[in-house]
Amino acid sequence: MYVSGLPILLTLGGKCLLNWVAVFLQKRQICRSFLGVFSVSLAVVDMALTFSFTKVYFHGDELVIVFGHLMTKYDVCLLVQLAGHISRVLQWPVVLMASVDHLCSGTRRLEAISSRPAWVIHSSATVLLWLLTALYLLLQYDFVPDISKRDVLRCRVFHSLQVLHITLLLLLVLACTALFSLIRPFPKSQITNQRQTPCRRSFVQQTLQDFHHTWTPFLVFLAGLPFLPVGIPSYLDLNVVWLHFLNSLLVAIVLCAVWGDGLPPIMPDWAICCLS
């Protein structure tokens, strides 16, 4: 569908505002994981794209320099197209890297690493991911503005259901992991200490309840997404709120998966912060 420039500008501005509000609310835990560091970088990139779109939109009758290129109002849709491509390309790599990061943290493989080196690792992974994405886009796509023939300021906007597909897959993984955690036997090292070990069922239930109590409205929204007459534009798919939801979902999966493998049965503070 074709959308005029003003609604696109308003939605981009709203996305940037929402991104920074979400980053501010989680500022204490923002550098503890790859998703936290990537959220800050995404907020910066979205802000740069929004400012560039605004500049071209209001000064399109003149020659405007954006990212070292001369642009006019005929090229304003290139920025929307670029944002949509970035969102589609990054979704699955971000999920994969975040899953590896949470799995390593949950199994205490990074226990000996201090917070500063961990922050360096997460920052390096974020920079590498953005560089690979930029290289892929430059080599794979030929950016030609897709505009309406009647109005050059009406851009063609594509919709994507990647967020819904990822959510359904991870929710299925969470359900299978929780079920498997409930039926698996205790390790031999914990058999003699069962009196000091709270019930596994209670721990799994606590994990699932913390997740659902926090994200039920978002899950309801995603469930109704396929039935909306107008879907979510692809350039809005990748945002910080979605990354926080993804972070909580991955934490819940890791907690259910590694419970009983030597981890304390009490909910860790970092997990409580991530699930809320």
Distance CA 255, CA 208 (A): 10
Q: Which residues does residue 156 pair with via DSSP β-bridges, in sequence order?
A: 2
Count of CB atoms situated within 10 Å of the CB of 198? 12
The pLDDT tens digits of the residues spanning 16-34 come to 999 999 999 888 777 778 9
> What does the pLDDT average to over 215-243?
84
* pLDDT for the residue numbered 37: 92
Distance CA 245, CA 256 (A): 17
* pLDDT for the residue numbered 269: 45
Its pTM stands at 0.83
Q: Where are the domains of the chain?
A: 2-185+199-275
* pLDDT for the residue numbered 17: 95
The pLDDT tens digits of the residues spanning 124-155 come to 999 999 999 989 888 876 665 555 555 556 77
* pLDDT for the residue numbered 242: 93
Weakest-pLDDT range from 6-20, 109-123, 256-270 = 256-270
* pLDDT for the residue numbered 43: 95
Distance CA 77, CA 9 (A): 11
Burial of 83 (0-12, 13-18, 19+ CB in 10 A): buried
Distance CA 233, CA 230 (A): 9
The pLDDT tens digits of the residues spanning 80-131 come to 888 888 898 999 999 999 999 888 876 654 344 444 577 788 899 999 999 9
Helix (H) or strand (E) holding 33: none
Q: E strands along 72-228, which residues?
A: 154-156
* pLDDT for the residue numbered 226: 76
Q: Is 160 in a helix, a strand, or coil?
A: coil
> What does the pLDDT average to over 209-230?
82
Distance CA 17, CA 26 (A): 15
Q: Annotate 53-116 with DSSP letters as a single string.
A: HHHHHHSTTS-EEETTEEE-GGGHHHHHHHHHHHHHHHHHHHHHHHHHHHHHHHTTTTTTS-HH
* pLDDT for the residue numbered 266: 46
> What does the pLDDT average to over 203-226?
84
Whether 44 shows a pLDDT value over 70: the answer reads: yes
Contact assessment for residue 226 and residue 162, using Cβ atoms and an 8 Å cutoff: no
Banded model confidence at residue 45, pLDDT cuts 50, 70, 90: very high
**Who has greater pLDDT, 70 or 132?**
132
> What does the pLDDT average to over 192-208?
65
* pLDDT for the residue numbered 274: 53
Task: Name the average pLDDT for the chain.
Answer: 78
- Percentage of the chain lying above the pLDDT 70 cut: 71
* pLDDT for the residue numbered 146: 54
* pLDDT for the residue numbered 132: 93
Contact assessment for residue 97 and residue 129, using Cβ atoms and an 8 Å cutoff: yes
Please give the C-alpha separations between residue 172 and each of 109, 139, 168, 272, in angstroms, as whole numbers: 26, 35, 6, 22
